[in-house]
Chains A and B, each alone.
Chain A
């Protein structure tokens, strides 16, 4: 069974960089599939942040592209998210997920709440 688990600081100061990691178990990232980050502000809908392949190929949401970096570490079977220059608008539950070949999301992490506040 594929499992994903997000980890990282739950509180980030404005203007700083948010950093999260998604550890994958039950499947080797090197075997294929894209892996992605999605976020959900409190009381609002889902927003795709970006996706990465094990080769390092990435796609980002155009609205966040200038601030987002997604990377992969196949040796640790995990991938990471960095979002720079955060503001209160970046406060959200952040999810990691696996993308199917046709860009659906079949396995999700439980999500982690990140609050941006001084």
Chain B
């Protein structure tokens, strides 16, 4: 079955830039989405269609795509950004939703 691969954890100091990657063979053909999830809360969409930012999401969140890898970048990380981040896409047929395993972002 199709998989998306994320690093389990990323750590940064406040004010630095955090980059979280997500790899998958179908990413050149399917859009990627990123979600932020804080403890006890539902996931929140922070990036859609690889690099678009929903209204209400701070400008420090951005997304990019290159080949089979997509990247979520958080510039000027703040303490409130500490959370789990999940990438999500579809398989090559475009009929099945797939999630990455999640990355825990720790703000030191």
Given A100-B48, A105-B35, A36 contacting B54 (CB threshold 8 A): no
**When chains A and B are docked, how far (Å) is the Cα of A63 from the Cα of B30?**
21
B48 x A108 contact (CB < 8 A): no
Given A45-B102, A46-B102, A102 contacting B31 (CB threshold 8 A): yes
Interface residues on chain B, number (Cβ under 8 Å)? 25
Across the interface, A104 reaches (CB within 8 A) one of B88, B96, B100, B102, namely B88
A residues 15-43 near B (Cβ < 8 Å) are 36, 38
- Tally of contacts, chain A with chain B, CB under 8 A: 62
A residues 33-82 near B (Cβ < 8 Å) are 36, 38, 45-48, 51, 59, 61-63
**When chains A and B are docked, how far (Å) is the Cα of A39 from the Cα of B30?**
22
Provide the residues of chain A in CB contact with B45, threshold 8 Å: 104-106
A46 x B49 contact (CB < 8 A): no
- Using CB atoms and an 8 Å cutoff, list the residues of chain A in contact with chain B: 36, 38, 45-48, 51, 59, 61-63, 95, 99-100, 102-106, 108-111
Question: Beyond A59-B95, A103-B90, A104-B33: 15 further Cβ-contacts under 8 Å?
Answer: A45-B86, A45-B99, A46-B86, A46-B102, A51-B97, A62-B1, A95-B43, A102-B49, A102-B90, A103-B31, A104-B49, A105-B35, A105-B43, A108-B44, A109-B42
